[in-house]
Amino acid sequence: MSERPRRVRPIADTGPADAPLVGGKSANLGELTRAGFPVPRGFAITVDAYLDTMDAAGLRERLRADTATDRADNDLDRTSDEFTVAVRGAALPADVRAEIVAAYAELGDDVPVAVRSSAPAEDAADTSYAGIHESYTNVRGADAVVRAVQACWASLWSPRARTYRAVQGVADEPSIAVAVQVMVPSDASGVAFTADPRTGDRSRVVVEAARGLGEVVVGGQVEPDTYVVVKDGFVVEQTHLGRQEFAIESTGTGEHRVELDAAGSDRVLDDAQVTLVARLGVAVEEHYGQPQDLEFAFADGALWVVQTRPITTLDDRSRPSAVATDADVADALLTGLGAGPGRASGAVRVLHDPADGARLTAGEILVAPMTRPDWLPILRRAAAIVTDGGGITCHAAIVGRELGKPVVVGARTATTALHDGQQITVDGDSGAVLAGIIATTSPTAVAVTPAPQGGAPVTATAVYVNLATPDAAASVAAGDVDGVGLLRAEFMITDALAGEHPARMIAQGRREEYVRAMAAGLTTIAAAFAPRPVVYRAVDLRSNEFADLVGGEDEPDEENPMIGYRGCFRYVRDPALFALDLDVLHRVRGRHPNVHLMIPFVRTRWELAACLAQLDAHPLGADRSMLRWIMAEVPSVVYWLPEYARLGVDGVSIGSNDLTQLILGVDRDSEVCRDLFDTLDPAVLDAIDRIIDRASAAGLTTSLCGQAVSTSPELAEHLVRRGITSVSVTPDAAALTRRTVARAEQRIVLDRARAER
């Protein structure tokens, strides 16, 4: 009889071939250990230990039977709770427990360790599983280690893990290994990318670092320092200091949160340390033969590698570096987040209120604390945009990209550090604001996708664009796009109507003037895209934004306008406003039947029913060839979708930005909270999945509009695998999105072909 395979192995005895048994994390660490890289000592607990424990507890068959329902479990939270409690409480067979306890004893006497999940497919070239399963740090004592191992096993059955497996199409029986390593009491730690994940540039290393344990970096709890290193010569080319108000430190008694004083704003790593990390990263990259995403830690001057994986989201395009040159860096005035591509130079114009917009002349650089929709006429004249606050999904970023302007947001002190007339260059790729006039690459119009030629991809999933004004309609429509998935009506108010409140125009007997001006802009867009669809979203200004319009002084004063008097509910309370949109659409559809209506910010069934009743009472209501869409921005849509379908809705467009805000409870425009805003958070993904599933089951077409699908190939593939009908992105992102969607569709076909073999 052959000897039973060991359920526990020293990490140094593992390698890539052992990944199915010890998981990707342990396999990679074992490979690095054997290659001589500085890896903390530890051991791997194999998937056999988990499976044997589930067998002994009588759970394995129940869990295996559930795998087939992972993709569409309407009671996911309840069953996940049931499974995780059962797995966590399963008693380990005596021999399994003995092997784990013995391996832990070999590391030292009650030595603190990190107990980290290591799934078989984790840290592979096409699936990272990053953050999906649980890990625990500063675990001390044999009993505590065993409990932490059980908790790692239980995380295999969390809602986010089950959802991730469904998205990735994992059909095999789920299993999990665990890596146990001696804790590194980090002075500083972080992540190094051996290719720039923002641009695909393989000639540079990007290092993010923070004080204390690395969980604050990988968990997004602080804004880390960011350093860019040129591989040729290992020169630190760019340094962006983050904000770290606290650190997690490892001590002899566990972990402690330490509040940081002003020193928290100093550099985390000096140039010598940054260079050391970059050299280590490149050495690991050369060992594996492909770019790596590795986690590192400094402790008492020594540098350790605690994890590595291939960069799974690296685009295969060959693009020039997005960071400024050495000569430019010497003149860097400010850095922020690069939110709109390209580079533009000009004189600074600092504005704090759109009422002062006349001070900005065409070609100047707009510098503002933040922008709102009523800034649009000013943004159009600006050569580039710089804001103190905001993230890549804030108003300035979204509209700037649609207008083809270089944008830097989150520059913090731009309005005080820069002054009117100062000559600067805005680099929207790197996020740098540079002194003086430097050769620019700013487009003169909105960047568009070239029309298909030769081998251009063809996708079953439609790729639409978001538009705000008719200015760029002709150039965008000439590209490889399938229509307009989101036309923001409110931006045309600030443009065509010079920012005048619709109620004021009605009160002055100027209703026809409003309808004529808005219809003219919509006609331009509809004609450019015909016969492709143009989805017109009815006016969705918030009360504070309406108040900023000329004649808006009667608007209510709300504490939180974002979730206040807006969208569908406003149309019910102010039918005259909604009637204007209906008049505009009725006039345009007489010549351009490719235009359709979308109702935003729908919260309840009764308000949508009341709104649709207004539509049915209008002459436009008799035009049943016009599609009726709603925006899915409020979490309640998940519950109400079947009812919305019964009311006659034809399609649903997921507004990923507002949906993320409302699910996670975070303001997307807040620089302080920007680390919390994550459309790929499992809670948000679960809501998106439920919307797509319920809409599809009701026969509705589905779309998603939002910046996340433009920047995240992972999300784009997620949506395609889920069966979304279309996505809608900014014009400059259409080409990349089309390629991402094409790759996702091809992978699905290949996966199905393999499954049928």
Just list the catalytic residues: 395, 705
Tokens of 92: 């380990």
Cα distance between residue 713 and residue 197, in whole Å? 12
- Say if residues 129 and 119 touch (Cβ distance below 8 Å): yes
Positive or negative CA dihedral for 579, 580, 586, 592?
negative
The rounded distance, in Å, linking the Cα atoms of 757 and 753 is: 7
- Cα 327 to the chain's mean position, in Å? 32
Residue with tokens 């600030």: 494
CA 663, 664, 665, 670 torsion: positive or negative? negative
Q: How many CB atoms lie within 10 A of CB 160?
A: 18
Q: Which residue has the tokens 């832990």?
A: 104
Tell which residue, 289, 291, 341, 264, has the closest CA to residue 191: 291
Please tell me the number of Cα atoms within 13 Å of 486 on its side-chain side.
31
Cα–Cα distances in angstroms (integers) from residue 260 to residues 263, 266, 271, 296, in the given order = 7, 11, 22, 21
Separation between Cα atoms, residue 644 and residue 630, nearest integer Å:
9
Task: Write phi, then psi, for 211 (nearest 5 degrees).
Answer: -75, 150
Q: Residue 238 phi/psi, 5° resolution?
A: -150, 140
Quick one: which of 34, 8, 103, 40 has its CA closest to 307? Answer: 40
Distance, CA of 343 to CA of 432 (rounded, Å): 10
Residue type, 202: R
Distance between CA 178 and CA 175 in Å, rounded? 10
The residue type at 593: P
d(CA 73, CA 163): 9
> At residue 19, what are phi and psi to the nearest 5 degrees?
-55, -40
Place of tokens 């998940």: 638
| Alpha-carbon span 76 to 458, nearest angstrom | 35
CA quadruple 513, 516, 519, 521: dihedral, nearest 10: -80
Beta-bridge partner residues of 486: 466
519 near 587, Cβ under 8 Å?
Answer: yes
Instruction: Look at residues 572, 567, 652, 566 and name the one whose alpha carbon lies nearest to residue 610.
Output: 572
CA end-to-end distance (rounded Å), the chain: 35
Cα-to-chain-centroid distance, residue 27: 29
Q: What is the DSSP string of 360-377?
A: PPTTPEEEES---GGGHH
